[in-house]
Structure formats: structure tokens, C-alpha cells
Structure 1
């Protein structure tokens, strides 16, 4: 099960802080084939940095979803995610699947929920689920592939081994050391800066 929500506390947890800004989905689903930036197949066992939510990817959402920026505070992230969690709970989502005010599963179809509950959540809550800046870029940035390649190149150039997996950056050796964790944010900002500057 993939769950959104990992502590973004500063200081000693800088590694996790940087990873969550890339919408780290905890609980990766085992080995997977990956794409290298050049499109080559077959790198197993890579930890995915980002996995878009199935509920959030519904194209029928009329309103733009709330945006979690790289500089969003822990409090703002908890507030935005809390609104979405409250909506899910009000539409029949089981409380035992919720992890505090920021953690929730993204793969709702795998939880054995009824068709009605799934439909109600998608209809009433999809527009409330927060979206990371990179997830928005993946949906809307026409130059996303170029920006993603630049992000992967930057990470690898700074010793953080990364590849493309399912159209998103993925770390080959897991989270980097605390001293190198800043490259997760720095490379994303550098690679996607021209697009992120257009986001409101």
C-alpha cells in the first residue's frame, strides 16, 4: 500500500524533509522495472520518489487542486492534507487507513472499498487532494520530460543515483545521507524552476 505522509520535521530529519518535498510515497511496492533518462528498461528494485494518486489523477476535476510547494511549511501541508482527509472520512473512508493528519493511502482501489465509497470520494474529494509541484508539472508542463531529465542528471552529477521510473524520478540506493539530502530539493528547483515560477 502506498501512503502519502512522512514527517517533514527539520534538523535531524533533513533527509526525510527533502524527500517529502518530492512527495515521497512511503511503502514502495517492491521491485519494479524502471526507465533510465535515455529510455532503457530494466532496473529492478528502485525506490520511487513520487507516485501520483489514482484519485487525484481524475481528469474530470474542474477546480485546480491545492498546491504543495517546495517551500510549504509543515503546518500548511498538514492543513491542506487534513482538508482532503476530512472529506474522505465524510464520504465513507475507513478511519483505520488514515495516518494522523497527513497520511493516507493513494491506491484507494486496492483497499476493498465499495463502489459507492470510491465514487463518492472521487466525486466530492478529488479537487481537495493536495498536489506537489512536480505532480502538477507532470500533468501540465509541456516540457516536463526535458525538466525531468535535467533533474535526474543533476542528482546523478551530485552523487545521488537516480533514474526515471513511471515518468517520475526514483532513487536507486534509497534516501541519500543527511549531508546530501538537500540535492533532492536543489535539483528539482534547478530543473523545474522555469515552470515552477509560473505557478500561483
Structure 2
């Protein structure tokens, strides 16, 4: 289900499933903390008008309440979040064809359980994404895990690197260092 970086679409895929050589990696980890605006933005509240009345109706944030994967989330945390979403899909009778039917009632019912990738791993939200990606590759290579920059982020030169001692902790550490501003 999840390729290494696709887990952010899937980094978000590191958590759920297989690796394809040179798959881009987006992240690991997560916890059940939610981002207040879904993807790194702060939710805004409508303030009352000066006369004490309502300033107007606001649209509900579709990402509010969804589990938020963080840069420092462990793979176990990420897996638990994805397991919650897939369990919900099963409870609602949704099979593996959900991607072909994204508006099916069961899929919509589980939308609030679909994990959000770290906003730092989204090139549209992170103006330093390219530099951060290069820093990630440099860090991974420094720790003996042969990595490269890809068109979607970063990836491993070969799948054998997944079996490197302490791979998960090295990846999380490098991700926090590269994308978390600790450069």
C-alpha cells in the first residue's frame, strides 16, 4: 500500500508497505496528535463582529481531527495510524479498490482517519524542500545508507539498505535534522 515516499502520499509509504528501488521517501513516524489546520497551517476562528454578532459562517476544515504524522514519528506510530484508517475502511465494507471510488460512502466515512503526512515533506508547503531533500540524502549517506535525490524527494540506491542496522532510527533522525530545521 505504501511506497517509501508515497506514504506522504505515501512517506508516507515507509510505514505501510513495500519498497521499490529508488522510491522516494517522505517520512516516517507520527502520533495521534493532530495538526490544528491539517498540514501545518493553523486553523482560524471567526471572531465575533464588533456589535457582538457573528462575523459570518466559516467552512469546516476537512483535515481537522485527522491523525498527523510528524517528522519524528516512529514507524510503529505511523503503522498504527494507517491501521486505524484501513480498519475503518474494512468496517465500512471498502475493499482495495477504494482508489477507483474515492467518493464511495465508506471511503468518505473514513476520511477523518486518513493520516496526514508531515507538512515539511510537501514541496508545495515547504519552500526549502529541495535543500532539505539534499540534506536528507547527505545525512543518510553519512550513516552508510546509500541514498539519492529523486524527482519526488529522496530514495534508496537499493532495497538492501532497509535491512541496515538501525535503519528506522537513522531515517527518523536524518528526517528531523534535514526537514526540521536543525541544519
Pair in the same fold by TM > 0.5: yes
* Partner Cα distance (1:171, 1:3) in 2: 15
Match of 1:188?
175
SS of match in other structure, 2:159: coil
CA distance in 2: counterparts of 1:79 and 1:185, whole angstroms: 17
Cα distance change on mapping 1:22 and 1:130 into 2, 3 Å: closer
Which protein has the larger Cα radius of gyration, Structure 1 or Structure 2? 2
Match of 2:126 in 1: 141
- Give the secondary-structure state (helix, strand or coil) at the position aligned to 1:164: strand
**1:156 and 2:141 are equivalent in the alignment:** yes
Within 5 Å, give how 1:73-88 maps onto structure 2.
74=76, 76-77=77-78, 79-88=80-89
Query: C-alpha separation between the residues in 2 aligned to 1:192 and 1:148?
Result: 8
Offset of 1:122 from its aligned partner?
4.9
Query: Partners of 1:73 and 1:138 in 2: how far apart?
Result: 16
Q: 2:103 aligns with which of 119, 134, 147?
A: 119
CA–CA distance in structure 1, aligned partners of residues 144 and 181 of structure 2: 24
The Cα RMSD (Å) is: 3.7
SS at match of 1:169: strand
Query: 2-side partners of 1:46 and 1:108: how far apart?
Result: 26
| 1:63 shift after superposition | 1.9
Number of equivalences: 137
Q: Tell which has more relative contact order, 1 or 2 (C-alpha 8 A, sep 6+).
A: 1
5+ residue gaps in structure 2?
5-10, 28-38, 40-59
| Closer, same or farther: CA 162–77 of 1 in aligned 2, 3 Å | closer
Q: Which has a greater percent of strand?
A: 1
Distance across 2 between alignment mates of 1:78 and 1:180: 18
Alignment deviations for residues 61-102 of structure 1 (CA, whole Å, 9 cap, x no partner): 72243123324483x5454334312332244312xx5xxxxx
Q: Which protein has the bigger helix share?
A: 1
SS at match of 1:185: helix
Alignment partners' CA distance in 2, 1:22 and 1:119: 22
